[in-house]
């Protein structure tokens, strides 16, 4: 690939900066899920944690225990199951309770003839990412202070952040638009 027998093989017209750059980049499988964690209106630190969760790259107890760094492999919050990414962010009773309350909130806000609007998908992604980040912070403070807040308190924090970000995203929108009315319903049902 590249120069073979004195010929640039990636473009019939010879070497170009574009094809040279493509050669340096190499071939990588495309990640189908990157839009779930990267978007201009997501909080960047939430995106970073979301990216790490998707890659299962956080140092959770299950992994630390296997490396003999931590004495227990059990979930910091519930202490009932090994602390894996799947458990902490999806299966833990605490996380599931947070998820149920947020689902109810979104279902109430997304009523009427708005079901097919693209903004709903974006808002759901934003809620997911904010929830993951907030759960991760709660887990860390629980590890240090040995107390965990009630799920309802966590939900309030998530809702406040989400509403603030949605409002930012809508700054160009007309206050009479359907998107704006969705935001108003979300804000008023906190």
Q: How far apart are CA 111 and CA 185, in angstroms?
A: 9
List all residues 6 or more positions away from 178 whose beta carbon is below 8 Å from its beta carbon: 114, 117
Binders of Zn ion: how many residues, by CB under 5 A?
4
Q: How far apart are CA 149 and CA 152, in angstroms?
A: 8
Q: How far is the CB of 76 from Zn ion (least distance, A)?
A: 8
Q: How far apart are CA 46 and CA 38, in angstroms?
A: 9
Q: How far is the CB of 145 from Zn ion (least distance, A)?
A: 17
In the bound state with Zn ion, the residue whose beta carbon lies nearer, of 93 and 152, is: 93
Task: Find the farthest-apart pair of alpha carbons in the chain and give their distance in angstroms, rounded.
Answer: 69
Q: How far is the CB of 183 from Zn ion (least distance, A)?
A: 33
Binding mask 59-98 for Zn ion (x = CB under 5 A): ----------------x-xx-------------x------
Residues that bind Zn ion (CB under 5 A): 75, 77-78, 92
């Amino acid at each position: 690939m590249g120069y073979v027998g004195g010929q640039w093989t990636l473009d019939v017209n010879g070497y170009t900066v574009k094809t040279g750059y493509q050669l340096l980049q190499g071939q990588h499988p495309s990640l189908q899920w990157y839009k779930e964690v990267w978007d201009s209106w997501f909080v960047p630190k939430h995106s970073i944690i979301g990216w790490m969760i998707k890659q299962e790259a956080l140092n959770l107890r299950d992994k630390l225990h296997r490396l003999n760094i931590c004495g227990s492999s059990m979930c910091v919050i519930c202490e009932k199951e090994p602390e894996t990414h799947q458990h902490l962010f999806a299966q833990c009773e605490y996380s599931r309770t947070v998820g149920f309350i947020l689902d109810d909130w979104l279902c109430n806000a997304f009523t009427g003839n708005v079901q097919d609007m693209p903004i709903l998908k974006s808002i759901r992604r934003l809620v997911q990412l904010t929830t993951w980040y907030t759960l991760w912070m709660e887990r860390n403070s629980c590890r240090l202070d040995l107390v965990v807040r009630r799920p309802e308190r966590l939900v309030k924090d998530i809702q406040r952040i989400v509403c603030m970000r949605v409002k930012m995203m809508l700054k160009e929108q007309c206050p009479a638009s359907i998107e704006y009315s969705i935001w108003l319903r979300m804000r008023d049902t906190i």
